[in-house]
Chain A
Amino acid sequence: MTFLQAMLLAVLQGVSELFPISSLGHTVLLPALLGWKIDRGDPTFLAFVVALHFGTALALVAFYRQDWIRIVRGLFASVVRGRIGGDPDARLGWLLVIGTLPLALAGVFLEKPVRQFFGSPALVAGFLILNACVMFAGERLRRVERGPGSKPARPLALLPYASGAQIGFSQAFALLPGISRSGASIVAGLLFDLTHEDAARFSFLLATPAIAAASILEFPRLLVPEAHAVLVEALTGGLLAAVTAYASVAFLTRYFRSNDLRPFGWYCLIFGTVCLTLALMKVIV
């Protein structure tokens, strides 16, 4: 992996981790399209990926720092008093805890076998098309439910815990490369009557513990002797991923105030179809 390839992967990670277009799918398809030979099991590459995740997690924590301070305070206060009560920060905190558990369990038990079986560019491109269909279907159902005389949107503060768990469960589908974690959770949020803005906010808040925990638990990979060979790439890439992730989340939180998922659906449909065609023609393998 050259320095330029490393920086392109860093930008790709920072952008695609939060945009509902599947970062995992893009890190399989783009190197295949560009003909890059990357050994995904190589310790230097794994160390580099950990640095990118670390940068993304830092960006999310920095962007939502005020929210996280209130959420963590609320969580501790609720444990001390033994009840959540009417504290909206504690309630949001427990929604995030409940929503994170399904992904944590699925990630631990299913990540390796799933990636082993579904890592080919053709399958990833197929899942990217499926990701587009999920977003289109979610938006369609949303518009049907939001028709005249429908019930008003539910504020995030009033989301039931069971719905939070189901939104969290939807993230587990993103273990399939090509299915977007944020896309799945935003669609699930919309189906539980959240606005696009609240569904995106909940999705990004849910992403923070998942990405942060993954990067902390994988941190020892950065300390292996082989990782010293990519120290400059890892540090620069991590910083670049942090900057692009921060810019992405800032853009998306503003975007979802008045827009929907359909443009991302069209992008996934077109890019997925092109990649699937090329994979079936054996142009990319």
Chain B
Amino acid sequence: MSEQITPVDDDKPPIAGSWKRLYTFVLLLHLVIIIALYIFTKIHS
């Protein structure tokens, strides 16, 4: 069983410049998808 604490890379993500910005992008995109689905529901109800 490995007991050592391994140093981890904490590189920037390949897009968006920082992890914080990438997480924000994913959550905002999810919000847009939910709003789009809500509008989809309203249009087809």
A and B: interacting chains: no
Interface on A for B, CB 8 Å cutoff?
Answer: none
Interface on B for A, CB 8 Å cutoff?
Answer: none
